[in-house]
Amino acid sequence: MNKKVFIFDDNTDILDLCTLILEDAGYEIKTSATSNNITGQVSAYMPDIIFMDNWLPDVGGIEATQELKNHPDLKHIPVIYFSANNDVKALAEKAGADSYLPKPFDIHALEDIVKSYVG
């Protein structure tokens, strides 16, 4: 059974790139350009790890991450905050994310962070 990764980002190039890299590494990928109804989207897929962009339309990454971390059935899922913002570490902490990955990111850094959380 492949490990499942859910990526939230409104940049289709990032979604395509992450999908390509992680599918090649043997993961099952789902993507979304919006974090609207975040608990519904995540509950329907139940990923092993989530990547959350900071700048998302309507509901931003911080609010979406906090909603997940406050949900009893979803709070165990690691959320990796990823952003081109210089302050990605502080944003990740504010959101309650498990870790963060600055953009632009190295392909190996992306694979390594997934492996460190889901193997």
Please, what are the domains in the chain?
A: 11-118 (3.40.50.2300)
- 26-45 mean pLDDT: 97
b vs e for 3-17, b when ≥16 Cβ sit within 10 Å of the residue's Cβ? bbbbbbbeeeebbeb
Q: What type of residue is 21?
A: I
Per cent of the chain over pLDDT 90 is 97
**CA proximity to 55, closest of 113, 112, 8, 118:** 8
pLDDT digits (tens, 9 = 90+) for 74-114: 999 999 999 999 999 999 999 999 999 999 999 999 999 99
**CA proximity to 22, closest of 39, 9, 40, 35:** 9
Read off the pTM. 0.96
